[in-house]
Chains A and B, each alone.
Chain A
Amino acid sequence: MKLPTLREVGVEARLLLIGIPVFLWTMIPIYHMFLFAISPKEDAFSGKLWPNHPTLNNFRIVFHQEHYFLRDFWIQFWNSIVIAVAAGALTLMIATAAAFAISRLKVPGSRWVMNLALFTYFIPAAFLAVPMYRTMGNYGLLNNHWSLILAMVTIASPYAIWVLKQASDKLPVELDEAAVMDGATIPQLFRLVYVPLMMPSLVAIGTYAILLAWNEYLYAFLLLSKDTEITLPVALGNFLAADDSPWELLMTTGFIYALPPAAIYYAFKRYMVGGLTAGAVKS
C-alpha cells in the first residue's frame, strides 16, 4: 500500500474543512427537530445532544391524538394526502396533454401557450396568492379542498408543461410518422407511443407536483380554515398561535409530516435529478 503524500493529505484536509461545516449547517435544524421528537418534555429543553431517556411517547401521543392541538391529526394527514395526490394527478393529466399538443402536434399558437405558461411560472407565488384568495372566494370555493387543489395545479402545471415539452422535443419525429403510417390515430399515438416513451419525465413531474402540494403552506393557510379541512402544515402553523405550545409534540408532528416527502424524494431521486434539473435551467 502506498502512503499518501503530504500534498494529498493537504488536499483531503482542505476538503474536510469545507465538508464538516456543510454537514453541520445542513443537519443541525433537522437533528434538533428529531431530538425534540424523541425527548420527553423535561429533557427537551436541557440543551443536551442526546436525551437521557429517549422515548417514542411523543409519537404515541400524536398517533392517538391525545392533545388539544392534535385532536384532528389523522383527518389533517388525510387531507394532505388527498390534496397532494389530486393535485399531482390533475397536473400530470393537464400538462401531459398540453405538452403533447405543443411539442408533437404543433398546434398553431402553441408557442403562445408555452409563453403564457412560462410567464405564470415566473409570477412570485406570494404575489398571486392575494388575488387568488379573492378569486376563490368569488368562485365560492373557499374552505373547499378544490380551491387548494386547483391553486396547486395552477402553480405546478407551467413548469410541468415546460419540462415535458423539453423532454418530448427530444423524441424523434420519425416515431410519430411511423405510427401514423401504420394507421395509428392521435389517441393511439398518445397512449401507445408518447406516454410510454415519456415515462421517466412523467414520473419526475408527478412527483414534483405531489411534493409541491404536500409542502405548500401559504395557499393552504389562506384558502382553508376549518380544523377538519386544513392540511398538516397549516395545523403546524396554528401551534404557534399559543404561548404554551407543546414544542416536543409540534416537532414530532413536523417530523412525521416531513418523512413522506423525503422518502418520495429519495425513492424517485434518479428521475427527479435527471428529469427536473435538465429542464430547470437552460443556459
Chain B
Amino acid sequence: MAITLSASEMPGPPLSARLTTPQIWGIALLTPYLLVFLAFVVYPVCYGLWLARHPASYVALYHDPIFARAALNTLIFLVIGINFKMMVALFLSGFFVQSRSWIKWLSVLFILPWAVPSIPTILSVRFMFNPEWGVVNTLIFKLTGEDGPNWLNDPAVALTMAIGVHIWKSLPFWTLILMTGRLAISNDLFEAADVDGASWWQKFRFITWPSMQALYLTCTLLSMIWTLGDFNSVYLLTGGGPADLTHVLATLGIRYLRLDQLSLAMASIVCALPFVLPLIYFMMKRLSR
C-alpha cells in the first residue's frame, strides 16, 4: 500500500505509461463492479436526493403524525430492541460454547431461524396470534374459558412483537459471531482465574468482557444500521397497523412510495441520514483497516 501511495504522489510520466500489464488487467476486472455501483448505487442515491430537495416535503412530514410515530418506533426498535438482543446474544454465546453434546445439537437447531426465509415464519407467528383462530387464543380459551386479547391490535404489543420477530430471526447470527469472539479467548486465562478462585462474574468482568468489548460494540452498531432497513419484521407482522401506529422508517418509506408520494418517501429517508451516516462512517473506520 505504501508503495502505491508514494508512486501516485510522484510526478512522472502520464498515467497510461505508468500502468503495467497487471494493473490494466486489474482495472478491467474491477470494471464490472464499478458499472454495477454506478448504475445501481450512485445513480439511485443521487436521484433520490434530488427528489428529496423540496422543503415542502419536510414541512409535510413534520405535519404528518404517522412520521413522528414511525421515528419514535424506529428509535424504540433500535435502542431497546437491539441492545436487548445483543445482551441476550452475549449471554447465549456463553451458553453455546459449553462443551456438551446436547448443546451442540441445540446449536444446530438454534441456527434455523437464520437459515430459513423470514416470510413463512413471520406469517406463522402472525397466525399464532390471530385473535379468533390463532393457536394462542385458542389455548387461552381452553384453559381459562375467556377470550384472549386482540394481540396485534394494540400498537404497543404489536411493536413489541415485531421486535420479538426481529430478534427471533437475527439472534442466531449474532450469537454465532459472539461465540467466535469467546472462542478466541485463550483458555489459560480462565484456568489461571480458576486457580485464583475467581467467581464466574469476576471471570466475565475481567477476562471475557475486556476481550469482547470491541467486537460487541461493532456488532451492536452494525445490527442497528441493518435493522433500520428491516422491512419484513414490521410489514409482514402488522403491516404498519393498527391505524399506521407501528410503522418504522423502513416501512414508512415504502408506504409513501406505494401512495405515490415519492418525494415524501425520500424525505423521510433523508431525515434519518444525520443519524445513519455517522454510524456508517464509524463502522467504515473500524472495518476498512
Residues on A lying within 8 angstroms of B by beta carbon are 15, 18-19, 22-23, 25-30, 32-33, 36, 45-47, 93-95, 97-98, 100-102, 105-108, 110-111, 113-120, 122-135, 138-139, 150-151, 153-154, 157, 161-162, 186-187, 214-215, 217-218, 222, 233, 236-237, 239-240, 247, 250-251, 253-255, 257-258, 261-262, 265-266, 273, 277-278, 280-283
Instruction: A101 to B115: give the CA distance in the assembly, Å.
Output: 32
- The verdict on B193 contacting chain A, using a C-beta distance below 8 Å, is no
Most buried by A among B112, B138, B262, B279: B112
Q: Does B75 contact A (CB under 8 A)?
A: no
Q: In the complex the two chains form, is B222's CB within 8 Å of A281's CB?
A: yes
Q: Which residues of A contact B115 (CB under 8 A)?
A: 261-262, 265-266
Name the one of A22, A151, A233, A239 contacting B117, with C-beta atoms under 8 angstroms: A233
Docked complex Cα distance between A28 and B128 (Å) = 10
Known: A120-B37, A124-B250. 15 other contacts (CB 8 A): A26-B112, A98-B32, A101-B26, A105-B25, A116-B41, A118-B284, A126-B250, A128-B44, A154-B40, A217-B118, A217-B231, A237-B236, A247-B127, A258-B120, A283-B181
In-complex Cβ contact of B116 among A46, A108, A250, A258 (8 A)? A258
- From known contacts A111-B1, A122-B280, A131-B51, infer whether A240 and B123 are also in contact, taking CB-CB under 8 Å: yes
> Which of B231, B253, B257 has the largest count of A CB atoms less than 10 A from its CB?
B231
Asked, given contacts A111-B1, A131-B47, A265-B115, whether A15 binds B95 with beta carbons under 8 Å apart, the answer is yes
A122 x B283 contact (CB < 8 A): yes
Asked whether A218 lies within 8 Å of B254 as measured between CB atoms, the reply is: yes
Tell me the minimal C-beta distance from A49 to chain B in angstroms.
9
**A110 contacts B117, C-beta separation under 8 Å:** no
Contacting residues, chain B, for A218 (C-beta < 8 A): 231-232, 235, 254
Q: Can you list the 4 inter-chain pairs with the closest CB atoms, starting with the nearest? A: A254-B120, A124-B229, A131-B48, A107-B26
Interface positions, chain B 47-68, Cβ under 8 Å from A, are 47-48, 51
Q: For residue B120, which residue of chain A has the nearest CB?
A: A254
Q: A22-B92, A33-B124, A130-B269 are in contact. Are A98 and B33 (CB under 8 A)?
A: yes
The winner among B41, B110, B133 for most chain A CB atoms within 10 A is B41
| B residues 128-169 touching A (CB-CB < 8 Å) | 128, 133, 135, 138-139, 142, 168
B1-32 with Cβ < 8 A to chain A = 1, 4, 7-8, 21-23, 25-27, 29-30, 32
CB of B142 to closest CB in A, whole Å: 7
Contacts of B215 in A (CB 8 A): 281, 283
Interface class of chain B by DSSP = helix
For residue B287, CB closer than 8 A to chain A, the reply is yes
A261, B113: Cα distance in complex, Å: 11
> Which of A36, A217, A253, A273 neighbours the largest number of chain B CB atoms within 10 Å of its CB?
A217
Nearest chain A CB to B249's CB is how many angstroms away?
A: 8
Return 18 A-B CB contacts under 8 Å, by A number: A15-B98, A27-B112, A32-B125, A33-B120, A101-B25, A101-B29, A106-B4, A108-B8, A122-B222, A127-B228, A127-B272, A130-B48, A135-B40, A135-B43, A150-B36, A218-B232, A222-B254, A251-B123
A27 touches B109 (CB 8 A): yes
Given the contacts A116-B37, A233-B119, A126 and B218 also touching, CB distance less than 8 Å: no
Q: B124 — which chain A residues lie within 8 A by C-beta?
A: 29-30, 32-33, 36, 251, 254
Q: Interface residue tally of chain B, by bracket?
A: 35 or more
Chain A contacts for B287, CB-based, 8 A:
118, 162, 282
Contact of A32 among B4, B21, B128 (CB under 8 A): B128
Most chain B CB neighbours (cut-off 10 Å) among A27, A124, A282? A124
Quick check: B127 and A32 within 8 Å, CB to CB? yes
B268 to chain A, nearest CB (A): 9
B123 touches A126 (CB 8 A): no
Which listed residue (B95, B222, B229) contacts A18, Cβ 8 A?
A: B95
Residues in A neighbouring B142, C-beta threshold 8 A: 47
Q: How far is the CA of A274 from the CA of B110 in the complex (A)?
A: 17
B residues 208-250 touching A (CB-CB < 8 Å): 212, 214-215, 218-219, 222, 225-232, 235-236, 239, 249-250
| Chain A proximity of B209: nearest CB distance (Å) | 13
Contact: B133 with A45, CB < 8 Å?
A: yes
Taken together as a complex, chains A and B put the C-alpha atoms of A217 and B7 apart, in Å, by 47
**Any chain A CB within 8 A of the CB of B102?**
yes
B228 and A29 contacting across the interface, CB-CB below 8 Å: no
- Asked, given contacts A46-B138, A108-B4, A124-B250, whether A150 binds B40 with beta carbons under 8 Å apart, the answer is yes
Chain A residues within an 8 Å CB radius of B111: 265
Q: Taking the complex as formed, is B45 at the interface, i.e. its CB lies under 8 A from any CB of chain A?
A: yes
For A124, what are the chain B residues with a Cβ–Cβ distance below 8 Å? 225-230, 250, 276
Q: For residue B211, give the distance in angstroms from its CB to the closest CB of chain A.
A: 9
**Smallest CB–CB gap between B77 and chain A, Å?**
12
- For A29, list chain B residues within 8 Å (CB): 113, 121, 124-125, 128, 168
